[in-house]
Amino acid sequence: MANKIYIFDTTLRDGEQAPGMHLNVKEKLEIALQLQKLNVDTIEAGFPISSKSDFEAVKEISKAIKDRSIAALARANFKDIDAAGEALKDAANPVIHTFISSSDIHLKYQLNKTREEVLQLAAEAVKRCKKYTDNIEFSAMDATRSDKEYLAKMYEIAIQNGATVLNVPDTVGYALPLEYSNLIEYLLNNVRGIENVIISVHCHNDLGLAVANSILAATKGARQIECSVNGIGERAGNAAIEEVALIIDTRKKDLDLYTDINIKEIARTSNLVASMTGYLIAPNKAIVGKNAFSHEAGIHQDGMLKDRSTYEILKAEDIGLSSSKLILGKHSGRHAFIKRLEDLGFSLSDEELEKAFERFKSLAEKKGAINDNDLKAIVQNEVREIKEYFKLNYYHILSGTNIKSTSTVGIEINGKLFEAVHFGDGPVDASFKAIDQITKIKTKLIDYSIEAVSEGKDAIGAVKIVVSNNGIEVLGRGISTDIIEASIKAYINAMNKIIEKQQLEINN
């Protein structure tokens, strides 16, 4: 039978200790209510002695949430423990989490106490906690750099005095996975009474091993993992709850473990914490990063279109997202491009598809990701148009505050390249005059307008112009991330329409 792994969430305590982070009582309560929906087993709501707001947060969360354990942190001294007990007095299932250092490094440089003195403090602290609750978690800070025999003795004393959970912190994120899991095994085999308590693990991510250490420890007998949403916390943070939960869920048959986490709430929880803390999520962050269920490479997109399992081991829908995304960019292939056009309702001929794909690749090189509005603009403004009698080959602009704008334009006519250079009142005017010089078409500019097709600094701009020539009035359109290029394309588009209309009149 699979073993349950209890999830002890420390987002509101260790998570909030991340540099520059501060959550008020209302914000902490809102996150706690979402953690309730996520179905964590224990919410560590704060460190009551550290500040008035932490005390009030623990108090309010204790009042609001009655169906799971609420924990408060306290150092191994009576003042801290009394503050924690007072803050938790309305909790249905209160947990006092008390701690003291166990490594010789900390004893010498931080506590300035002997080993025996620290053991006595640990015993007294756990006894004091029993004044307020029978649910007591004891942590030996810096456990992974401690003498194993001394550590085992400290945990044994904690059990004797009433501890119900023993936490084994890798406080500075120093341990390697096998090293850490071997420590768990050692404690299970060398601490009297340990079979009657829960072994908890609290791993920091200084070397990027927090999740690996936590999972391997669970396979060796740890039954509680302490983690935070998005992995936030001191320095490089903690084991990320979303990664721990999805590893166990995805590999539950192999691990013979499970959690009660409601994984459909993961995306919502992650976004809420990121929004309230201001700690943005890296795009490549496992599970909740925006790229986690996004595919741009053509080979991957082709596989995804055939069968999702080719490149995804998780389903976006399982964690509360709508679906995976095929990101159209410079690495994308034709299959994904054609599929997206079909989804948008376009049905193009082979010639139109070729032209659209070529234009898409060109824009993707400049812009990066191409969105639906960009695709619509490509098709509507540049693909479904008339024959190109004049085709832009290149342009070059010289412009500034103290010089006259100059434009050099190269246009292909029947496969032959023609070039013109012209001055103008600004780069657009100079470009239009250079085009006039090449096409030999005299026009009157009636209207000129610019609008953004998509959002952001790299948005595609659409230029629409209306010109007339000998009674023929046409609308020209052009798009580009460069508004001058869009203007040039719109003007050339208008020239092509004039030629087409002239030929229609001759034929009629």
All domains of the chain, ordered by start, with CATH?
A: 3-277 (3.20.20.70), 294-380 (no CATH), 390-507 (3.30.160.270)
pLDDT at 69: 98
Paired residues of 97 in beta bridges: 73, 137
User: Among residues 183, 194, 133, which one has the least CA distance to residue 160?
Assistant: 194
pLDDT at 359: 72
Q: Which residue has the tokens 């029993």?
A: 130
| Three-state helix/strand/coil letters over 461-490 | EEEEEEEEECCEEEEEEEEECCHHHHHHHH
pLDDT at 26: 93
Token duo for residue 180: 């850490």
Please tell me the pTM assigned to this model.
Answer: 0.71
Q: Quick one: DSSP state of residue 389? A: S
pLDDT at 125: 98
pLDDT at 126: 98
Q: Which residue has the tokens 């997206």?
A: 340
Residues 6+ apart with CB under 8 A from 500: 386, 387, 389
**Number of helices followed by number of strands (H, E) in the chain:** 17, 18
Q: Find the helix packing angle between 115-129 and 78-87, rounded to 10°.
A: 20
DSSP string, 84-132: HHHHTTT-SSEEEEEEEE-SHHHIIIII---HHHHHHHHHHHHHHHTTT
- Asked if 52 and 274 count as a contact pair (C-beta separation under 8 A), the reply is no
Distances 94 to 50, 83, 91 between C-alpha atoms, Å: 18, 13, 5
Burial class for 169, CB neighbours closer than 10 Å (0-12, 13-18, 19+): buried
DSSP string, 65-88: --SSEEEEEEESSHHHHHHHHHHT
CA pair distance 195, 176, nearest whole angstrom: 25
CA pair distance 477, 381, nearest whole angstrom: 6
Region for residue 211 given its phi and psi (left: phi exceeds 0; alpha: psi -120 to 50; beta: otherwise):
alpha
CA pair distance 39, 26, nearest whole angstrom: 20
**C-alpha count within 13 angstroms, C-beta hemisphere, residue 312:** 23
| Residues of the chain below pLDDT 50 | none
What is the chain's Cα-based Rg? 33
- Asked if 169 and 227 count as a contact pair (C-beta separation under 8 A), the reply is no
CA pair distance 480, 488, nearest whole angstrom: 10
